[in-house]
Amino acid sequence: MARTVRLVPALLASVLTLAGCGGGVHGTPGGSGVRDPYFPKAGNGGYDVAHYALRLTYAPDAHHLTGTATVTARATQDLSAFNLDFEGLEVERVTVGGETARWNRAGQELTVRPHADIDRDDTFHVTVRYSGAPETVTDPDGSREGWLRTADGALALGEPTGSMTWFPGNHHPSDKAAYDVTVSVPQGLRAVSNGELRSERTARGRTTYRWHTGEPMASYLATLAIGRFDISHSRTPDGLPVYTAVDPAEAAASRPVLGRIPEVLRWAEKRFGPYPFSSTGAIVDRAADLGYALETQNRPVFPGAPDLTLLVHELAHQWYGDSVSPKSWRDMWLNEGFATYAEWLWEEDHGGKSAQETFDALYSGDSSDTEEAAESVWAFPPADPPSAARISEAPVYWRGAMVLQKVRQVVGDEKFWRILKGWAAAYRHGNADTADFTAYVEKQAPGEDFEGIWEDWLYGEGKPERP
Ligand code: ARG
Ligand code: ZN
């Protein structure tokens, strides 16, 4: 609401506030971060985003992006200013509630000063117009994300912090929102994003694709793939839309495994409960030096034709990571431990090793090619990685999965299946941290003692003494 009297002295303003008068200069700046233990500048305080509307135009040859982002948010305090995370690109104009706002930039922080303070609980719209050459960023662990150029277009990936290279926002997993992404590309190319394709229109040499994501999405799971793709859309036997976009060079190798998406989802629903989103699919695209897949919402991205295990991993993330998202980057094991455990379970349910056998092989060091790889599992506790550079390392994946097997040992299969499903249901479309997880497990099995498991397997240094 616009009720600022800009020149009211601070003292008078606070007197007015003390007197219970709602108007005047009353807001304070929202924080420049949300105290993430590994990425302190990620996210921003003072508001909660409900919706992102992105209108983007990309010219691959010129490597030029123009964008208008309209962020709809609710203030969680009286705000005199607030930040958005945004890296690179040029900001041309910022408005709040349709009125020009002042702004300045320092590193990844775009600070916006609305013409009038925003009252706590008010919903406001901030629009940022921008353009330029979007950047690729290198993560603390050396991998590449952000805006990646491909032979025929681009691929945008955002774990953990790359999404701020292509749109301004509250780039922390704790603030999830709905998205409408409209992308215009030269005719002949396609733009593929999360959610469902609402329309596709060609005029004057450009095609515009409108994608809608209705379920809450953490910004690190937003993706955009621009280029030439073999497209297939179909439905699972349950009627869930399946949209896959595959780099033509990877099409032959990808088709058989992507054809198994409905089968993997049917199995996953049996194990994890109802699929949390309104569509599924996959994107296969080649970007130089991209050595990883990512569980982008609805539609995971693969750097080449995936094998079945990787498909299972990324689809399992739709429950664990995408629907139940981490509260901070310290909770990464809740994503990766579960997705790795899903690989073990798939194998167990399809005539391979049992999860216990996989656990035993890891514990004894028989499963890795080198002693070094076997040792890396014990490098640090999964619930407490030593630095931002290590949140995607072996203990987070494998030892995280081992924690789940330890829980299964204590509660038995029946209760364990209920815990897997119940966890996904209890925090569906929300956020959770390790303390939420341990509390949840303890509540499901009140008679059992998990202290030793949490101490040794989740939080403890070194290799636990007993498997
Ligand atoms: N979350 C992805 C997966 O396990 C891997 C992301 C790797 N990113 C990184 N910065 N190392 O499927
Ligand atoms: Zn993963």
Residue 6 banded pLDDT, cuts 50, 70, 90 = very low
Residue 24: its pLDDT value, please? 56
The label of the residue with tokens 């960023």 reads 137
For the CA of 317, the closest atom of ligand 1 is 12
- What's the whole-model pTM score? 0.94
What's the CA-to-centroid distance between 336 and ligand 1, angstroms? 9
CA separation for the pair 173, 156 (Å, rounded)? 17
How large is the average pLDDT for residues 274-281? 98
Q: Which of 329, 392, 396, 398 to mutate to test the pocket of ligand 1 (most atoms within 8 A of CB)?
A: 392
Cis peptide before 160 (omega within 30 of 0): yes
Is any ligand 1 atom within 6 A of the Cβ of residue 383?
no
Structural domain 29-228, CATH architecture: Sandwich (2.60)
Indicate whether residue 84 lines ligand 1 (CB < 6 A).
no
Other CB atoms within 10 A of residue 145 CB: 24
Query: Do the two domains 29-228 and 325-458 of this chain adopt the same fold?
Result: no
Domain 325-458 has CATH 3.40.630.40: no
Q: How many CB atoms lie within 10 A of CB 369?
A: 7
Q: How far apart are CA 291 and CA 22, in angstroms?
A: 54
Residue 20 DSSP SS3: coil
| 277 contacts 215 by C-beta, under 8 angstroms | yes
SS3 at position 459: coil
- What number of CA atoms fall less than 13 Å from residue 112's CA on the CB side? 35
Query: Tokens standing for 29?
Result: 């700046």
Query: What does the block give as tokens for 240?
Result: 């869930």
What pLDDT does residue 101 have? 98
Q: What share of the chain is helix, strand, coil (3-state, %, to 5)?
A: 30, 30, 40
What is the mean predicted confidence (pLDDT) over 200-207? Answer: 98
- What tokens were used for 159? 């774990």
Q: How many CA atoms lie within 13 A of 105 on its CB side?
A: 14
Q: Whose CA is nearest to atom 5 of ligand 1?
A: 294
Instruction: Quote the pLDDT of residue 183.
Output: 98
Residue 123 β-bridge partners = 74
Q: Which of 136, 138, 294 to mutate to test the pocket of ligand 1 (most atoms within 8 A of CB)?
A: 294
Is the model's pLDDT at 7 over the cut of 80?
Answer: no
**Domain edges within the chain:** 29-228, 325-458
How many whole angstroms separate alpha carbon 235 and alpha carbon 242? 5
Average of per-residue pLDDT across 211-234: 98
CB 317 within 8 A of CB 302: no
The position carrying tokens 């509250």 is 170
Query: Could you report the per-residue pLDDT of 76-103, keeping only the tens digit for each?
Result: 999 999 999 999 999 999 999 999 999 9
Closest ligand to the CA of 157: 1
pLDDT confidence tier of residue 25, bands split at 50, 70 and 90: confident
Instruction: Give the chain's mean pLDDT.
Output: 94
Q: Categorize the per-residue pLDDT at 420 as very low, low, confident or very high, splitting at 50, 70 and 90.
A: very high
| pLDDT score at 5 | 40
pLDDT at 1 over 90: no
Residue 367: what pLDDT?
Answer: 76
| Single-letter amino acid, residue 78 | D
- pLDDT, residue 289, reads 85
Cα of 396 vs centre of ligand 1, distance in Å, is 11
- Tokens describing residue 460: 């403890």
What pLDDT shows up at residue 371?
77
Q: Whose CA is nearest to atom 10 of ligand 1?
A: 143
Q: Is the CB of 261 under 6 A from ligand 1?
A: no
Q: Which of 143, 131, 112, 106 is nearest to 56 (CA)?
A: 131
Instruction: Please report the pLDDT score of residue 167 as a whole number.
Output: 99
Q: Whose CA is nearest to atom 7 of ligand 1?
A: 292
Question: What radius of gyration do the chain's Cα atoms show?
Answer: 23
